[in-house]
Each structure stands twice: as C-alpha cells, then as structure tokens.
Amino acid sequence: MSLKKLLLLPISLVFSAAGCAGIGPNATYYMGTTSFHYDPSYNAYMVKLNGHEIGGGFGGGMNTSPVKFGPQVITWEESNSDKLHRAKNQVTLTKEDLKGVKYLAVHLYPDDTVEVTTSNNWPNPTEKGLKWQERIRKNGTE
C-alpha cells in the first residue's frame, strides 16, 4: 500500500464513523423507540417511523430504531381491522431534538394526529393523550 493511501485511510475512517455518530446531513441516531396509543376502540400495532417498526404497548415495548432528523412518516395498523393509519399532521425533527437523547416516543391520537417526544428517561404518556383517553372513556365516543 502506498504512503498516500496509508495517510488517507485514517481520515476516511473518521468520516465514515462520523456518519454513524450523528454528524452530517444524513446522520442516523439509534435510540430506544416506543409508542403510546390513546384510542381504546382498538390496539395499534406495526407502528412505524419512516418504515422502521418501533415499540408499542403504551410505552411497555421498546425497540432500538434508526431515527433521522427531518420530516417523519408515521404509520400504524389496527388490531381489529385491516385499516392502515397515516399521521394527518407532519412531524419534523431537528438535529437539536435528537442530539444527546436516548428515547423517542410517538403518541398516536384518536384523530390520527401524532406527536413525538424525546427524553433521556423512559418515555411517559402525554397529558394531552391522557385527557383525550379519559374523555373517550367517559363519553364512549370520540
């Protein structure tokens, strides 16, 4: 191997490792992911963030998933039908949203809108979701 190649090898390794570490425009962050579903009329499953399945079960299941900043595509299925849901609102994550955090939670609301939260501690349900869930239980409808 030539001296030039030997000198360039460490530099190329640093840049390839940087992409895995969350540096650059295509940075991928690997973090614990889960979901919270607030509609008691069905169980959500196959919750996906940009085509990658994440955990579920009201935060009881966790996966390690790749997450990139930018617009997110969030989909999920119903347990009691063949219905495929897609988030009605657009969630966009910034590098600051993902930098230095361990967990990401997707919150699926009964009107098919979603919210994404990040944290360094195990994720919790949102106040908005818990209020919505309680209202549905009391009224028996959305």
| Ramachandran angles phi, psi of 64, nearest 5° | -100, 120
pTM, two decimals, is: 0.80
Output the pLDDT for position 22: 52
> Nearest to residue 65, comparing CAs of 24, 94, 97, 106?
106
| Ramachandran angles phi, psi of 96, nearest 5° | -65, -30
Residue given tokens 């994720």 in the structure block: 123
> Nearest to residue 122, comparing CAs of 110, 134, 104, 138?
104
Q: Which tens digits make up the pLDDT trace of 96-125? A: 999 999 999 999 999 999 999 999 999 999
